[in-house]
Amino acid sequence: MIYKGRCHCGKVEFEVEGEINGAIACNCSICSRKGTLMWFVPREKLRLLTSESEMSTYTFNKHVIKHRFCPTCGIHPYGEGVGPNGNSMAAINIRCIEGIDLASVPVQNYDGLSL
């Protein structure tokens, strides 16, 4: 299935292909403050409808994850990094996907604070 998503103001838009079978709620310092529910997909399944030059990026700690956000409204629709197998991954904030029932998505808690 192809899902459409965007930030609050609509400046950052994307499509992502896959099946949302669950999401992860991480308790690390950034995820807990942003309130993201992450769905991980191979990076090639994410298609940006907005130029990367229109987005801002934040990195911290080891600087290996690119937290992408809209410079206008501040919403963080996705992040990019490398999975444990070495493949490029995208962490989609499912709160930014249009038309899904968040209550129906199983959420797994992840203790990122302990890393």
| Pairwise CA distance, residues 54 & 76, whole Å | 13
pTM of this prediction exceeds 0.85: yes
pLDDT in tens, 35-56: 999 999 999 999 999 998 999 9
Per-residue pLDDT averaged across 101-114, rounded? 94
How many CB atoms lie under 10 A from the CB of residue 40? 16
Q: Assess whether pLDDT exceeds 90 at residue 113.
A: no
Contacts 24+ apart (CB under 8 A), 49-54: 49/13, 49/14, 49/15, 50/11, 50/12, 50/13, 50/14, 54/11, 54/12
pLDDT score, position 26: 94
Q: Which residues of 44-60 are buried (b: 16+ CB within 10 A; e: fewer)?
A: eebebebeeeebeeeee
Q: What is 2-114's CATH number, 2.170.150.70, 3.40.366.10, 3.30.2350.10, 3.10.20.30? A: 2.170.150.70
The predicted model gives 8-26 an average pLDDT of 97
The torsion angles phi and psi of 112, rounded to 5 degrees, stand at -75, -20
